[in-house]
Chain A
Amino acid sequence: MNMEKVRAGFFIILAMTLNFGFFYGDMDSMAYHDKYELLAAIVVNLIATTLKLGDRTQIGSVLLATSLVADIQLIAAATVWTIVAYTSEITPATTVIIVSLSGGALLANIVSVILYVGDTLKSKR
């Protein structure tokens, strides 16, 4: 067992599951989407990104890229939410923006997990 693999795998998959948990539910109702879950998703995504830093292999570079995409989308969602919450009122329209941004991040996270699983399957040991 390789501790580094466990750690990387754990954070990559946790990033995806948390992201999914936030995304899942009605698109236009904030009741289905918890802000703490978004915070957790952002933090775990950032950790996953950091763990992928400095991997010089081809797969490592692509993993880093997908992770960065997820980070940007999630942070954008949180930023939109914050700005809207403090400057005006949250309407179903802004909820749709926030949730769909996190949906994009989820897609990036899924790609990341697929790549990671594929890489694991490829290795003979």
Chain B
Amino acid sequence: MSNNSLWLILQKLRVPFLVLIIAYTIAIIGLVMLDGVTSDGKPYTMTIFDAFYFITYTATTIGFGETPFAFTYSQRIWVSMIIYLTVIGWFYSVGSIISLLQDKVLIREIAKAKFKKQVKNLQENFLIILGYNATTKRIIEKSLHKGFRVVVIERNEDRVNELMMESYTPIVPILQADIHDPIALEISGIKSKYCKGLVSLFEDDSLNFRIAVTSKIINPKVPLAIKSTTETLTENLTDLGVEIIENPFEIISSQIHLSLNSPSIYQIGKWIYNLDILRKEQFKLPRGLYIVCGYGRMGREIYKVLKENDIEAKFVEINKEKVDSNHKDVTIASSYDMDLLKSLDIEKAAVIIAGTKDDTLNLSLLSTARKINKNIITVARENELENYSIFKYSHIDFIFMPSRILIHKTINAIVNPMSDKFFYLMKSQSEEFGAKLVNELLEKIGESPEVYELFIDAEQANAIKDAILENETIYLGAFSRRREDRTIKNSVKPLLLQRGNKFYLLPDEVMPLKMGDKILFATTRDAIEDIEYIAQNMYELKYVTDNFTNDGMWK
């Protein structure tokens, strides 16, 4: 039902209303029946209006005195009885109305109605984010920054209040509800055509799976970003058709793989994910003996990637249940300490990875390791997402943050799907290819190129649309020219072109454009403006393409 809260109020108001009506009626009838005396001593009886007027101000304890004439004793006796009746009746009714307004169920119903209205009025692209915590908070901020609206469902009341205190602009509608409830998903707008994605990054894998199944049933068209930390779940999610499956540990292991084999491409990834700028000198993980502390979900992924690369690695774990007892590469220890590290030949080791769930332990492990072996490369896992990070100041060579990885992965996959695809395609390229691209970008554009997406359609590229409809051929290279002087090359590098289901990595400048193309550029802020003008304005387009004529310019 649409207005549950109204019915709830009405139903609870029945008794207070009845009490008031009956008390007033008794009082009025009594007053009307009793004989009174006017100021001249003549007998009179109150009219109904006199009685109603008297009761109205007496019951609300305003008390204007005895009207219209001073009362007789029989009237006063009656009034002293009914005052208790009406005043108590009135207080009871007011009290129950006020307690009704404080009723948790009612407040929640009102909040729900407000939320529904807010979601219904969302006429822009928006994301549904489940759960409000440090990770999703960043996602919300970044999405809002990129022009996506956000709708949040959170179970915990304190966190709901926390979000409200943030007072985001534009408003972020939040619903306090149990996420197990499919109705909560439905009213948060999953069926809306503006819903561009649903994000579920809970610690609990089974909860994530359940949400994926429910959402796919309610609306199969909405892209889902679901966290998964096990292979089985990833498989299940793939079968279900979930678009974005985020396994932070798998992402970490693939980063290690990239850093071992193709540091340039790793650097491109960092730039695409907004974590770093482009550099010529990239950090490369060395080969040699690896010591990995922690053999949990992350440890297993690291184990796989190190084996793949034929790297000798020694793993340590203190929780016996996590490890098969006959695993030859894993040592089970009682605690992480200096003796343990020494027994693992830390003097000879090239890299130590502290990958336990405990941030303090990770920090202390690395500082111990550095004391024994000064040249060791330190790699840490940082679990807690805090504004002030002690990891930043501890001179660790390499920090992995599963929660931060989730943030960037989610934002890129939903808000900038082209850059996500671009990096995915880059990962399968060779190191030389990556190094060449990094050099080209550094030379042409600079250390931190902006990423810009252009969709060739009537809205974003009106001039190009018209030109294509007139059977003119517009080449991709048109965007690489300056508006002031077409002979000068602009700092623009097309990274990816999507045509239907086909992707062209680093497309050639002589490629003719077609309607519906999506292009990803690496460029500067100034050049973005040029691109927009060229795409929208036919005179600018004519100027940069060769169809330039003097009279066509100022027509």
Contact = CB atoms under 8 A, between A and B. Distances in A.
B1 A56 contact: yes
Contacts of B1: 56
Given A35-B48, A39-B48, A86-B49, A54 B7 contact: yes
A46 B8 CA distance: 19
B48 A51 contact: no
B11 A54 contact: yes
Interface string B1-42: 100000110111110011001100100110010000000000
B136 to A, nearest CB: 36
B109 to A, nearest CB: 13
A87 to B, nearest CB: 12
A111 B21 CA distance: 24
Interface string A74-89: 0000100010011000
A53 interface: yes
A96 interface: no
Interface string A44-59: 0011001101101000
Contact of A54 (B12, B21, B22, B49): B12
Contacts of A51: 14, 18
A43 B14 CA distance: 15
Contacts of B25: 43
Contacts of B13: 50, 53-54
A68 to B, nearest CB: 12
Nearest to A53: B10
Contacts of A46: 17, 21
Given A39-B28, A56-B1, A56-B7, A50 B18 contact: yes
Contacts of B8: 54
Interface string B229-240: 000000000000
Nearest to B1: A56
Contacts of B22: 47
Q: How large is the interface on B (under 10, 10 to 19, 20 to 34, 35 or more residues)?
A: 10 to 19
B465 to A, nearest CB: 52
Contacts of B29: 39
- Among the interface residues B1, B12, B17, which one has the most CB atoms of the partner chain A within 10 A? B17
Interface in A11-53: 35-36, 39, 43, 46-47, 50-51, 53
Nearest to B13: A53
Contact of A43 (B7, B11, B21): B21
Contact of A53 (B11, B32, B47): B11
Contact of B21 (A35, A50, A56, A78): A50
Nearest to B19: A50
A56 B28 CA distance: 33
Contact of B10 (A54, A82, A85, A86): A54
A78 B48 CA distance: 10
A85 B49 CA distance: 10
Contact of A47 (B7, B10, B21, B49): B21
Nearest to A61: B7
Contact of B17 (A50, A85, A86): A50
A53 B11 CA distance: 6
Nearest to B51: A39
B529 to A, nearest CB: 57
Contacts of A54: 7-8, 10-14
A60 B7 CA distance: 11
Nearest to B28: A39
B46 to A, nearest CB: 12
A36 B46 CA distance: 12
Given A39-B28, A43-B25, A53 B17 contact: yes
A36 to B, nearest CB: 8
A42 B21 CA distance: 10
Contacts of B14: 50-51, 53-54
Contacts of B49: 82, 85-86
Most buried by B among A43, A47, A53: A53
A37 to B, nearest CB: 11
Task: Among A36, A43, A51, find the residue whose CB has the most chain B CB atoms closer than 10 A.
Answer: A43
B6 to A, nearest CB: 9
Contacts of B10: 53-54
Nearest to B53: A82
B1 to A, nearest CB: 7
Interface string A81-119: 010011000000000000000000000000000000000
Nearest to A51: B14
Contacts of A82: 48-49
Nearest to B24: A43
A46 B16 CA distance: 13
A51 B25 CA distance: 16
A54 B12 CA distance: 8
A66 to B, nearest CB: 16
A50 B29 CA distance: 20
A54 B14 CA distance: 8
Nearest to B33: A36
Contacts of A47: 18, 21-22
Contacts of A56: 1, 7
Contacts of A53: 10-11, 13-14, 17
Contacts of B32: 36
A55 B392 CA distance: 62
B297 to A, nearest CB: 49
B487 to A, nearest CB: 75
B25 to A, nearest CB: 5
Top-5 shortest CB links A-B: A54-B11, A54-B10, A53-B10, A50-B17, A43-B25
15 contacts: A39-B29, A43-B25, A46-B17, A47-B21, A50-B13, A50-B18, A50-B21, A51-B14, A51-B18, A53-B14, A54-B7, A54-B8, A56-B1, A56-B7, A85-B49
Interface of A: 35-36, 39, 43, 46-47, 50-51, 53-54, 56, 78, 82, 85-86
Given A47-B22, A54-B7, A85-B47, 15 more contacts: A36-B32, A39-B28, A39-B48, A50-B13, A50-B17, A53-B11, A53-B14, A54-B10, A54-B11, A54-B12, A54-B13, A56-B7, A82-B48, A85-B49, A86-B49
